[in-house]
């Protein structure tokens, strides 16, 4: 039986005294909202029935359609790890403490902190969905929301992606297969994500855009689920690369295909790059790093706002994750200061000069010297 706190009971009684004509469904709904947000509740309403974690995920997978294939695979993996950690408990037995144990389980498995938090958030999303259909206690969903993420220092950290020197990438392009080299070159020019390159479609390219440039409107991209649109301007160099692949190709067919006539998968694309680099002892990088390289170069040459526009970001805060030009800009400032320092006639680099004599001030008060 649910026992409401004092402030929650008072709020409901005051609403009744005012004579609000609310049906029972609305009252129950408001009561639930008050229960979730009140700091004074002592018990929570249990779900209609307790089900196994596997059944919860099966219901989620059956009724909740995830458009992003990567997210769908990650949710499946996250829940598989949860069931591996707790194979014999139901939703009614799961708790915030169990969720903390699951976070520790992920850390002990050797996953990096950011990936642990990502998997934990996917598990949360399944429980939030179950709460809407009375498969999960409202209080459990609320408790899971309040469990803090794994903090820095509590799990291993993967090194941040760095920008690869442009010269090193351009030198390495000669060693890759022709199609892979063109895909990498196009990434370097446009700062597109590997997935956007792999799944690039002919039918979404406007070849008659402004008389010189083309415009590519990818149907699927990272923020498409938020209703945001992305436009990628393709210059003359990009057009020369694409013309080799788009002639006589159906509009719904990916531009870059492997020897079997299928688009490259993410793993296959990365594997070819990794094996080629290992074979010829080239500078190590992964396809996604070229996005960092491209945006860093654009920021140096045209400013952060231009890099934001090319990346398709709404804010420069997000672009700063990919932009590593601050060190280069600071280096230019220091180099300019070094040049000025060396050009000063009276001050030589490394010379030792006598310090100026500081006058000593004596104060006389009456006949006494201080």
> How is the beta sheet containing 205-206 ordered, strand by strand?
205-206, 214-216, 232-234
Task: Work out how many domains the chain is built from and give that number.
Answer: 3
Full residue range of the structural domain in which residue 98 is found: 53-146
Residue 303 lies in a domain: yes
Q: What is the mean pLDDT of residues 41-63?
A: 72
Out of 146, 179, 203, a domain closes at 146
For position 26, what pLDDT does the model report? 46
Out of 146, 180, 201, a domain closes at 146
Between residues 274 and 35, which one has the greater pLDDT?
274
Residue 332 lies in a domain: no
Same domain, 232 and 122: no
Residue 258 lies in a domain: yes
* Biggest distance spanned by C-alpha atoms of the chain: 106
Same domain, 190 and 253: yes
The runs of H, that is alpha helices, within the chain are 6-17, 24-37, 53-63, 69-85, 96-108, 113-132, 138-146, 166-172, 178-190, 194-198, 236-246, 266-280, 289-302, 304-311, 316-322, 326-343
**pLDDT at 358 exceeding the cut of 50:** yes
Same domain, 93 and 171: no
* Most confident listed range (275-289, 299-313, 332-346): 275-289
**pLDDT at 20 exceeding the cut of 70:** no
Residue 47 lies in a domain: no
Same domain, 240 and 131: no
Q: For the chain, what is the mean pLDDT?
A: 77
Integer CA distances (angstroms), 250 to 199, 201, 242, 253, 265, in order: 14, 9, 14, 5, 20
Residue 1 lies in a domain: no
Same domain, 189 and 318: yes
Same domain, 175 and 89: no
From CA 180, how far away is CA 47, in angstroms rounded? 53
Residue 118 lies in a domain: yes
Same domain, 242 and 270: yes
For position 333, what pLDDT does the model report? 64
Q: Could you read off the pLDDT of 129-157 as tens digits, one per residue?
A: 998 888 888 888 888 988 899 998 888 89
The CATH number of residue 176's host domain is: 1.10.443.10
Between residues 227 and 248, which one has the greater pLDDT?
248
Same domain, 134 and 211: no
Same domain, 172 and 222: yes
pLDDT-derived band at 315 (thresholds 50, 70, 90) equals: low
Out of 288, 306, 322, a domain closes at 322
Comparing 84-93, 108-117, 342-351, the range with the smallest average pLDDT is 342-351
For position 118, what pLDDT does the model report? 93
Same domain, 206 and 59: no
For position 279, what pLDDT does the model report? 94
Q: Which residues contact 34 (CB under 8 A, 6 or more apart)?
A: 4, 8, 11, 12
pLDDT-derived band at 191 (thresholds 50, 70, 90) equals: confident
Same domain, 20 and 86: no
Residue 240 lies in a domain: yes
Same domain, 219 and 316: yes
Residue 366 lies in a domain: no
| Count of beta carbons in the 10 Å neighbourhood of residue 136 | 23
Kindly provide the b/e burial profile for residues 164-191, where b requires at least 16 CB atoms within 10 angstroms of the residue's own CB.
Answer: beeeebeebeeebeebbbbbbbbbbebb
């Amino acid at each position: 039986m649910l026992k409401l706190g004092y402030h929650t009971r008072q709020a409901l009684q005051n609403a009744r005294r005012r004579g609000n004509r609310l049906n029972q469904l609305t009252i129950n709904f408001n009561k639930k909202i008050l229960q979730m947000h009140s700091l004074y509740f002592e018990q929570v309403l249990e779900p209609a029935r307790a089900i196994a974690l596997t059944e919860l995920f099966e219901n989620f997978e059956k009724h909740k359609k995830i458009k992003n294939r990567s997210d769908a695979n990650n949710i499946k993996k996250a829940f598989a790890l949860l069931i591996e950690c707790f194979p014999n408990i139901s939703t009614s037995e799961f708790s915030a403490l169990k969720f903390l144990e699951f976070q520790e389980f992920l850390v002990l498995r050797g996953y990096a902190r950011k990936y642990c938090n990502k998997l934990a958030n996917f598990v949360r999303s399944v429980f939030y969905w179950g709460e809407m259909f009375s498969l999960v206690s409202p209080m459990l969903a609320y408790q899971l929301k309040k469990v803090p993420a794994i903090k820095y220092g509590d799990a291993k950290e993967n090194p941040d992606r760095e920008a690869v020197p442009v010269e090193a990438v351009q030198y390495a392009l000669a060693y890759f297969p022709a199609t892979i080299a063109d895909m990498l070159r196009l990434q370097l020019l446009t700062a597109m994500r590997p997935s956007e390159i792999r799944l690039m479609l002919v039918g979404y390219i406007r070849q008659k855009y402004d008389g010189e440039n083309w415009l590519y409107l990818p149907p699927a991209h990272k923020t498409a689920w938020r209703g945001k649109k992305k436009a990628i301007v393709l210059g003359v160099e990009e057009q020369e690369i694409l013309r080799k692949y788009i002639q006589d190709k159906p509009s719904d067919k990916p531009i870059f295909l492997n020897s079997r006539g299928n688009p490259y998968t993410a793993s296959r694309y990365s594997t070819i790059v990794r094996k080629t680099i290992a074979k010829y002892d080239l500078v190590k990088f992964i396809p996604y790093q070229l996005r960092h390289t491209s945006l860093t170069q654009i920021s140096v040459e045209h400013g952060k706002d231009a890099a934001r526009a090319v990346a398709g970001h709404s804010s420069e805060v997000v672009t700063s994750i990919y932009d590593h030009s601050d060190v280069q800009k600071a280096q230019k400032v220091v180099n300019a200061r070094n040049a000025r320092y060396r050009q000063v006639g009276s001050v030589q680099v490394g010379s030792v000069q006598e310090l100026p004599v500081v006058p000593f001030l004596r104060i006389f008060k009456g006949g006494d010297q201080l």
